[in-house]
Homo-oligomer: A and B are copies of this chain.
Amino acid sequence: MSMKTKVDCNKVHYTDSIYYELEQTSRLMKKITSQLFTKLEIDITMDEYAALDTISINAGICQRDLAKFILKDRANTGRILDSLEQKGFITRFIDTKNNRLVKKMGITENGLKELNMIDSKIERYLKSLTRKIDPADVDRVQETLKSFRIELEKVVEINI
């Protein structure tokens, strides 16, 4: 056996790493959710849905803080909010935060209705995805991912 072959056999590949596994799984999950939204004729995007849910939890949040939550830049966060506002699911108002003028927002009655409607529509579909996995494993993965994400947040340069 040549040295070259031996080295190649023992080589650690990026595509076998947890980083790539994470990306692949996430990409698949995103595609499935997107297909679900289309199939169920949900009339907001997945990003809008995530933003709406975040707003429902953090009432009166300003745009930049929301951007940090949803990991989008300020530009695209603004665009997502334009769409949600135009559809009547949120209201935006000028306020101050640390003596600065900011645009805050809140979910509307219709927005809450839409959010609950989507939740109830997708719940059983999403749950069925993990039916083959031990629920304890699911919880453990979520916990570890969260710890991992918190470590990542310390390292990443966020210029939002």
Task: Across the interface, name the chain B residue whose C-beta is closest to A52.
Answer: B14
CA distance A39 to B143 in the complex (A): 30
Task: Across the interface, name the chain B residue whose C-beta is closest to A34.
Answer: B156
CB distance from A107 to the nearest CB of B (A): 11
Cross-chain contact B142 with A18 (CB below 8 angstroms) = yes
Band of interface residues on A: 35 or more
Residues of B within 8 A of A156 (CB): 28, 31-32, 35
Decide if A151 is an interface residue (CB 8 Å cutoff).
Answer: yes
Decide if A30 is an interface residue (CB 8 Å cutoff).
Answer: yes
Residues of B within 8 A of A31 (CB): 71, 156
Given the contacts A27-B71, A156-B35, A149 and B15 also touching, CB distance less than 8 Å: no
Task: Across the interface, name the chain B residue whose C-beta is closest to A51.
Answer: B15
Cross-chain contact A18 with B130 (CB below 8 angstroms) = yes
Residues of B within 8 A of A65 (CB): none
Residues of B within 8 A of A75 (CB): none
Decide if A94 is an interface residue (CB 8 Å cutoff).
Answer: no
Of B13, B29, B119, the residue contacting A57 (CB under 8 A) is B13
Residues of B within 8 A of A41 (CB): none
Given the contacts A14-B49, A15-B50, A129 and B145 also touching, CB distance less than 8 Å: no
User: Which residues from 1 to 45 on chain A have a C-beta closer than 8 Å to any C-beta of chain B?
Assistant: 11-15, 17-33, 35
Residues of B within 8 A of A151 (CB): 129-130, 132-133
CB distance from A71 to the nearest CB of B (A): 5
Digit string of A116-139 for contact with B (CB within 8 Å is 1, else 0)? 000100110010011011000110
